[in-house]
Chain A
Amino acid sequence: MLGYTIRRLLATIPVIGMVALFVFCLLYLTPGDPAAVIAGDIATVDDIERIRHQLGLDQAFLPRFWVWASAVLRGDLGISIFTNLPVTQLIAQRIGPTLSLASCTLIVAVLVAVPMGVIGAWKAGKLIDRLVMLFSVAGFSMPVFVLAYVLIYVFAIDLDWLPVQGYVPLQDGFWPWLSHLILPSIALGTIYIALIARITRAAMLEVLAQDYVRTAHAKGLAPSAVLMRHALKNAAVPIVTIIGIGIALLISGVVVTESVFAIPGIGRLTVDAILRRDYPIIQGVILLFSTIYVLVNLAVDLSYRFFDPRIQY
């Protein structure tokens, strides 16, 4: 197991390296760069050239890549072109809200979706199953921002139960922190709930058809015990897989949700950086995201062992 883990960790290095190279190439090939944006409205072409030179944007590819890559290996992600603040500081500032939002969404989604899927599988074919399936397909079908606007309108404006926008750090109080995250989590989580419920139901259906489940029933085990002790554990592998794959979905949705609810998170930071061509931020954040994704997938793979001891590494 340990050997497997180490081998996997080593294998992530070329992947991350590939991502770094890819992102850097992407930005290098971009026509246009931050120089013109920085120069402002009244600038002349000379001003733009001067800024470009100052930022080192007119250098060749390899020297630029080498400078950046070696800095990254030292833990220095560079300085944002527009705000002159270190990228690591910007990320540290904005990662809290995104993590809060993502974990709230994940917890809500799993807590709602897994029981939904289980119930759907248990009462397969009946009305409640049809409703579960209908919801899970419908949940996929609406863009996040439409749902977000509807939620704001109904719960924050009409009913005035929850705040419209913003983010309150956890240390300023638990309820303020939570209340600002409820609507965004629901908006973001709906797609996730639909996905997880679907997979859970399908996996449970397959497991419930197995012989050992029939045996458990025949033994006289209560249905809930059958579900929890035998079925769910065996269905866990694909469920956990989809949770892992869904992390990428989550990040995409986070970007939109942060925009609508004015949450100062990493998603919005990155989109703004991309649209402004703030290269250091773009490079730093995407590198961070892929590292997280790769590590999460590793964790998911390792967790298989926890759920299914038959899986050998």
Chain B
Amino acid sequence: MAALAPSLPTPVSRSPTLLRVKQAMWRHPTAIVGGVVLLGLIAMALLAPYLGTVDPQAISPVRRLRQPSSIYWFGTDMLGRDVYSRVVFGARVSLAVGLSVAVLATTIGLAIGLVTGFIRWLDGMVMRVMDGLMSIPGVLLAIALMALTKASLQNVIVAITITEVPRVVRLIRGLVLSLREQAYVDAAIASGTPTPAILLRHILPNTIAPLLVQGTYICASAMLTEAILSFLGAGTPLNIPSWGNIMAEGRSLFQLANYLIFFPGMFLSLAVLSVNLLGDGMRDALDPRLARNM
């Protein structure tokens, strides 16, 4: 797809990427808002035991389906578990899924993309495999992978990561292919610089920006995918709460106990929204022309 190769930022080598990002983000308040909210949610997840919660897995069939009150701030679910505690602890799982998948997918995608963009004879084969993976609808692939193994947090993360890697590979490969044609890279090859050095010194720094941005979108998408997997019965094990599976478990009761969907849904949307805003802000800050291709 010739049209998809992005036009590049002119290679900047003086100010480090992170500093540029920070400076530019001050001009984009939405990114700040996104970042702050995200940090807030992460803090909530880490401090969960101290936020007035009880054991999120403690069941009590006698106290099932109580409406939100002063004792049960978000009510209780169909097994008598405190929804507030489950939502707060649920942040751990949902954010863990989002962040892990983002980190893993970008790292693996970067590695594969760099290699395949640079080493021509690998390119054809690897891209066929990536195309094949991309052509299987993500949710179906994730469900199939989950059905293959037992339901656990790690397996959900791996399953979703596998579905996100091909897109990152595509992105990086496209960048590498264009960067490779640049004069200074040609010069480096001509002067005999070993390939790993070229990759690390010249190519890699220019991939960081779009990778960061893509990473935020992957994080958002992974959190939503986890919710969908839970809905279809192939997500994280139900006793460990995540925003997705709290909603999935309580979905048939949404007309009677809408707090079961409302509270986790609100937090999930907030998390996804903040990550998206962060990503948008970062993208606008780094290079508005990237917007065309993301």
Contacts and interface: CB of A to CB of B under 8 A. Distances in A.
| Direct touch of chains A and B (CB < 8 A) | yes
Interface of A: 14-16, 18-19, 22-23, 26-27, 29-31, 137-138, 140-146, 149, 153, 157, 199, 202-203, 205-206, 237-238, 241, 248-249, 251-252, 255-256, 259, 270-271, 274-275, 277, 282, 286, 289-291, 293-294, 301, 304, 308, 311
B14 interface: no
Contacts of A274: 140, 143-144, 147, 234
A178 B64 CA distance: 40
B22 interface: no
Interface stretch (B45-53, B101-109, B269-277): B269-277
A274 B148 CA distance: 9
Interface stretch (B84-92, B203-211, B220-228): B220-228
B177 interface: no
Contacts of B255: 153, 157
A15 B135 contact: yes
B128 interface: yes
Contact of B261 (A149, A199, A275, A286): A149
Among A27, A145, A157, A270, the most chain B Cβ lie within 10 Å of the Cβ of A145
A248 B141 CA distance: 11
A202 B284 CA distance: 10
A30 B261 contact: no
Overall SS of chain A's interface: helix
B273 A19 contact: no
A25 B77 CA distance: 40
Contacts of B277: 137
Ordered nearest first, which 7 A-B pairs have the shortest CB separation? A290-B135, A202-B291, A252-B139, A18-B132, A251-B137, A293-B135, A141-B272
Given A206-B289, A275-B234, A290-B136, A144 B131 contact: no
A224 B294 CA distance: 27
B1 A248 contact: no
Contacts of B234: 274-275
Contacts of A202: 288, 291-292
A282 B137 CA distance: 12
B223 to A, nearest CB: 9
Nearest to A144: B228
Contact of B143 (A16, A143, A157, A271): A271
